[in-house]
Amino acid sequence: MEPIEIKEISNDRIGAAKMHFLDRVTEAGPKFGYLLIHLKALEKWADKESSKRPELNKEVFFLSIWLHDIGQVIGDKTDHAVNSETEVRRYLPEIGVGSETVEEVAHCVRSHRCKDVQPETLKLKS
Ligand SMILES: [Fe+2]
């Protein structure tokens, strides 16, 4: 897998989620390299968007960014948004994220494909 330059990883729960995603993708192998390219582009967009929209809950926003596609490399072959939601509910409490935030992130990742579950807050379609 070609090395992808990723911005510095913060020493907080958002950084932990980012590292978790990067580790799972790296373990999954080179055929998932497209996810690193996708997330690098998304990270750039997210930085701009979050600075334009001070009303955003940055923790929910960035945890959702980093975990919305993790279901592509974790879980079975069902809808990756379902796998991502399952992983959010398993992983985020483990790193100390509160239940209200877990629910908000779970909704964001579950609805990011705008299919059977529609986004009620942020729109993260990919
Ligand atoms: Fe996705």
Query: 25 C-alpha to center of ligand 1: Å?
Result: 14
- In the prediction, which pLDDT does 126 show? 45
Res 20 pLDDT > 80: yes
Distances (CA, A) of 31 to 12, 25, 73: 29, 9, 10
Distance, C-alpha 74 to centroid of its chain: 13
Read off the pTM: 0.85
pLDDT in tens, 55-113: 889 999 999 999 999 999 998 878 999 999 999 999 999 999 999 999 999 999 999 87
CA of 126 to the centre of ligand 1 (A): 5
1 CA to centre of ligand 1 in angstroms: 21
Of 1-10, 44-53, 111-120, the range with the lowest mean pLDDT is: 1-10
The residue-averaged pLDDT of 40-48 equals 89
pLDDT band at 7 (very low <50, low <70, confident <90, very high): low
Q: Which residue type occupies 28?
A: A
Backbone angles phi, psi at 67, to 5 degrees: -110, -5
The CB density around residue 41, as the number of other CB atoms within 10 Å, is 11
**Mean per-residue pLDDT of the chain:** 87
pLDDT exceeds 50 at position 115: yes
- Lowest-confidence region among 23-32, 42-51, 78-87: 42-51
Rounded CA-CA distance 104/110 in Å is 10
Longest CA–CA span in the chain (Å) reads: 37
Which residues fall inside 5 Å of ion ligand 1, going by CB? 69, 126
CB-CB contact of 125 with 113 (8 Å) = yes
Distance 16 CA to ligand 1 centre (A): 20
Q: What is the pLDDT of residue 5?
A: 63
- As to burial, measured by CB atoms within 10 angstroms (0-12 exposed, 13-18 middle, 19+ buried), residue 82 is middle
Cα(73) to centroid(ligand 1), Å: 11
Domain boundaries, the chain: 13-111
